[in-house]
Chain A
């Protein structure tokens, strides 16, 4: 059976809008964020995301796991970017080195050296802010969108009936998959299986994951077949369908859509005029001198 994300009705900014309006605004926001590398622009967008988060009414303990997972992931990769300088080389040509730390040993004549430049720091921070902005806005959706309205929301956004219902099922499939994974992990641990003790080469490790991967995959396939049978048995897809839930735009929803679209158009224009490109704060450049 499909389970849903931890949605519950809350008095919040996000839930005060029609879900279609919020999805449109969300898509505009995502597009704006990926247009810029300038930390000043990104901080404005991040500020908007923080407003949405702090007015969402979602308690910290509800989101803690998601934040720790995503936050850890972002910090790790931002730090890796800072160390290697990878990713930013397309945005800057020269580097102003602040500090150079050379290892006390060589590997086949090569001395590993850590270069800390103004550009690398600015790039790592910009990337972190950018990804945090995207994550903050995305994380709110499963907690704030009523699962009963997924289908009608996507239908209202112009998707055909079948695709809209498919999106509805897909959104609910993700937490259901998580639940099945946990059940399988529990069942195998009860047979003495220890995920922590998996060792060996890459192929050996993947092979040793079979007790988890196989049941979860098979279960997902069987569950999909059940879903198809259940849908077939109740005449799904025979013609245009009526959606029992109705959504109505109110002035505030139209205003949100207009704001989102205007924000996107402005961002595109600024971007075309050359604004919002990679920017290194002056004080970092001074540190390098």
Chain B
């Protein structure tokens, strides 16, 4: 295998259903043992490029393909998907969409079974892959009961067992808590150091830079606009488009005029702590008898902007589903403005508390974005003129103006996510609850819609679940740490996030922005974004 692992020449691809090429004129030569990071906004062509390399284009996705992809010297046009899959392993964005086996061992062995290898060899190679990723103890576990981080490792083990020379990873960190993401990255670095070529698409650029990728590509409009080292990246890309490490932003933003300090609404009335939602000794468990929430006491007050942080499987979503009445406590009670959720229908609660689900694909159904956004307010019996106003406002906030008549189901994941947020915004509930609003979104987009949502008048409180500590730093005035079904910390971001030891027990990793803020805290007395910090001097 003296040939280069990957050589792409003049590659252009247009999907059959689109008029414009998704990628154009891509040229790339990758050395063995390199980690190549591909960054870029949603829809820039990153995933299409990955599909061209792993052979899904043109075999599964039809269209017009010109140029060539050579893997270890062999042109992929002449190879079967089975042959390519032995040289190129692909881990898709969401491990849930990739895992087929019902048990871990079946999942890891799947590819080898398809190649018809002898059973002993399959078991040996599967065991090797499990041990390499330190998950041999999961061998006989059911895959759907694994945590997000474990699923990601199992998906990776299934690919590694086939011993590919090139590993393609499409946003592997999207669904992981920070500690699991760090584990995954360390593993990726180790694989590259052992000689594997790794091509990694990731929005969380800052996290990937920690493992020192040899090369960073920046794609925009289907083209590679930058191809260089991580250090050069800061000089080329706009720090408002790609999330760079905070010290880099600090240097860049210091050269700009100080940004206006944003005023987040909602705000509480001075000196008044009006309770909106109260959890009183809430216990909850599913039918299998395992308790998930163990006596949660929590009050959401008017003016709160709460970030809920915690590891995968900590009970964050279960907790929040109690607030909208989708789950009722086994013991204890939840009060919305003093009324027990057991005595209220979900629809009744929805007029007070709007809940944005994690996955947009479970709610989008209407023929147009406008109709999708009008659905909630219509259910709440708002009058037509008010609905029109509410819908147009919501569209503007999520930056989808001009898309009113487009079917939401034909949009990209990132756009669908924004439609799902707008669909709740248009209901004008007094309290807004969002489950992972920034997951799978590119930096520029989520900063833009989070800024807009938090400056939107009318909300009395906002609560969001996130894995991104920086989102909590930037937007929250209160942070809840949830771990193993309990609220383990509740306070201002400065109080909660300063305790690095406690963060570690909740599988959170201090980001460069958090560290920077801790350095600046004596001067600033509160957490700020890197752009604002750039204009402060250290005390």
Please tell me if the beta carbons of B80 and A238 are within 8 angstroms of each other in the complex: yes
Q: A4-B142, A237-B114, A238-B80 are in contact. Are A226 and B350 (CB under 8 A)?
A: no
Residues of A within 8 Å of B105, CB to CB, are 148, 244
Asked whether, in the complex, the Cβ of B111 is within 8 Å of the Cβ of A215, the reply is no
| Set of chain A residues within 8 Å of B346, measured between Cβ atoms | 186, 189-190
Chain B residue at smallest Cβ distance from A217 = B365
State how many residues of chain B have any CB contact under 8 Å with chain A: 69
- Most chain A C-beta atoms within 10 Å of own C-beta, residue among B59, B102, B162, B326: B102
Is B98 in contact with chain A by the CB < 8 A criterion? Answer: yes
Given contacts A190-B350, A215-B363, A241-B114, 8 further A-B contacts (CB under 8 A): A4-B102, A148-B106, A186-B321, A186-B357, A232-B60, A235-B82, A235-B115, A239-B115
B56 touches A229 (CB 8 A): yes
- Do A1 and B99 have beta carbons less than 8 Å apart? yes
CB nearest to B349 among chain A residues: A190
Q: Which residue of A lies closest to B353 (CB)?
A: A190
Is B103's CB under 8 angstroms from A230's CB? no
- In the complex, the chain A residue whose C-beta lies closest to that of B377 is A192
CB of A253 within 8 Å of the partner chain: no
User: Is B90's CB within 8 Å of the partner chain A?
Assistant: yes
Most chain A beta-carbon contacts within 10 A, residue among B117, B346, B362? B362
B230 CB–A CB distance under 8 Å: no
B106 touches A244 (CB 8 A): yes
Q: Provide the residues of chain B in CB contact with A2, threshold 8 Å.
A: 100, 102, 144
Is there contact, CB below 8 Å, between B357 and A190? yes
Say which one of B118-126, B181-189, B195-203, B461-469 lies at the interface with A: B118-126
Contact partners of B363 in chain A: CB under 8 A: 184, 187-188, 191, 211, 215
Q: In the bound complex, do residue A231 and residue B100 qualify as a contact, i.e. CB atoms below 8 Å apart?
A: yes
When the two chains form their complex, are residues B158 and A148 in contact, meaning their CB atoms are under 8 A apart? Answer: no
A140-180 interface (Cβ within 8 A of B)? 147-148, 150, 169, 172, 180
Residues in chain B near residue A215, CB distance under 8 A = 361-365
Contact B96 A1 (CB under 8 A): yes
- 3 tightest CB-CB pairs across the interface, nearest first? A192-B379, A234-B111, A214-B365
| Binary contact track B313-353/A, C-beta < 8 Å → 1, others 0 | 00000000100101000000000000000000111001100
Asked if residues A148 and B109 are in contact (CB atoms below 8 Å), the reply is no
A78 to B159, CA, bound (A): 53
Q: Is there a chain B Cβ closer than 8 Å to A61's Cβ?
A: yes
CB neighbours (8 Å) of A68 from chain B are none
Does A234 lie within 8 Å of B114, measured CB to CB? yes
**With known contacts A187-B362, A235-B111, A244-B123, A230–B379 Cβ distance under 8 A:** no
Is A246 touching B119 in the complex (CB atoms < 8 A)? yes
C-alpha gap A235/B99 in the complex (Å): 14
Say whether A227 contacts B100, CB under 8 Å. yes
**Which of B122, B159, B347, B361 is A189 in contact with, Cβ under 8 Å?**
B347
Interface pair A194/B345, CB less than 8 Å apart: yes
Within 8 Å CB of A104, what residues of B?
Answer: none
Give the residues in chain B near A191, CB-CB below 8 Å: 350, 363, 375-376, 379, 423-424, 427
Chain A: which residue is nearest B91 at the CB level?
Answer: A233
Q: Is the CB of A226 within 8 A of B97?
A: yes
Contact with B along A216-230 (1 / 0, CB 8 A): 001100110011111
| Residue in chain B with minimal CB distance to A168 | B102
Contact B123 A230 (CB under 8 A): no
A233 to B110, CA, bound (A): 11
Nearest Cβ in chain B — how far from A172, in angstroms?
7
Is A278's beta carbon under 8 Å from chain B?
A: no
B387 to chain A, nearest CB (A): 12
Q: 23 interchain pairs (CB within 8 A)?
A: A2-B100, A4-B142, A147-B103, A147-B142, A189-B326, A193-B347, A194-B347, A212-B365, A214-B364, A218-B364, A230-B98, A233-B90, A234-B85, A235-B81, A235-B82, A235-B86, A235-B115, A236-B110, A238-B115, A239-B116, A242-B112, A242-B116, A242-B122
* Residue numbers in B under 8 Å from A180 (CB-CB): 362
For the complex, give the distance between the alpha carbons of A212 and B362 in Å.
9
Contact between A190 and B90, CB atoms less than 8 A apart: no
Q: In the bound complex, what is the Cα–Cα distance between A240 and B113 (angstroms)?
A: 9
Does A241 lie within 8 Å of B113, measured CB to CB? yes
Contact partner, A192, options B90, B119, B162, B427, Cβ 8 Å: B427
Assembled-state Cα–Cα distance A233/B51 (Å): 10
Instruction: Return chain B residues, CB-CB under 8 Å to A229.
Output: 56, 60, 92
Tell me the smallest distance from the CB of A245 to a CB of chain B, in Å.
7
- Chain B residues with CB under 8 Å of A137's CB are none
Minimal beta-carbon separation of A193 from chain B (angstroms): 5
Closest B-chain residue to A238, C-beta based? B82
- Assembly CA distance A197 to B184 (angstroms): 48
- Residues of A contacting B113 with CB < 8 Å? 241-244
Question: CB of B370 within 8 A of chain A?
Answer: no
A81→B34 CA distance, assembly (Å)? 72
Closest to B110 in A: A234
**Which B residues are in CB contact (< 8 Å) with A172?**
102
CB-CB under 8 A from A244, the residues of chain B are: 105-106, 109, 112-113, 119, 122-123, 126
Residues from chain B with a CB closer than 8 A to the CB of A242 are 112-113, 116-119, 122
When each residue 36-47 of chain A gets 1 if its CB lies under 8 Å from chain B and 0 otherwise, what string results?
000000000000
Bound Cα distance A241, B112 (Å): 9
Partner of B375 from A211, A223, A240 at Cβ < 8 Å:
A211
In the bound complex, CA of A215 to CA of B363 (Å): 6
Beta-carbon contact of B100 and A183 below 8 Å: no
CA distance A188 to B92 in the complex (A): 28
List of B residues within 8 angstroms of A231 by Cβ = 100
In the complex, the chain B residue whose C-beta lies closest to that of A234 is B111
**B152: CB under 8 A from chain A?**
no
* Cβ of A204 under 8 Å from chain B: no
CA–CA, A163 to B112, complex, Å?
Answer: 18
Is B30 located at the chain interface by the 8 A CB criterion? Answer: no
Indicate whether A1 sits within 8 Å of B110 (C-beta atoms), given known contacts A183-B362, A190-B357, A215-B363.
no
B-chain residues with CB within 8 Å of residue A187 when the two chains form the complex: 357, 362-363
Q: Is the CB of A238 within 8 A of B114?
A: yes
Q: In whole Å, how far is B289's beta carbon from the nearest beta carbon of chain A?
A: 9
Instruction: Find the B residue at minimum CB distance from A151.
Output: B106
Residues in B with CB closer than 8 Å to A230 are 92, 97-100
Does B43 make an interface contact (CB < 8 A)? no
B483 at the interface (CB under 8 A from A): no
Q: Please give the distance in Å from B139's CB to the nearest CB on chain A.
A: 12
Min C-beta distance of B201 to chain A, whole Å: 15
Given A1-B144, A189-B346, A218-B361, A232 and B106 contact (CB-CB distance below 8 Å)? no
Enumerate chain A residues within 8 angstroms of B151, measured Cβ to Cβ. Answer: 1
| A3 adjacent to chain B (CB < 8 Å) | yes
A101 interface residue, CB < 8 Å from B?
no
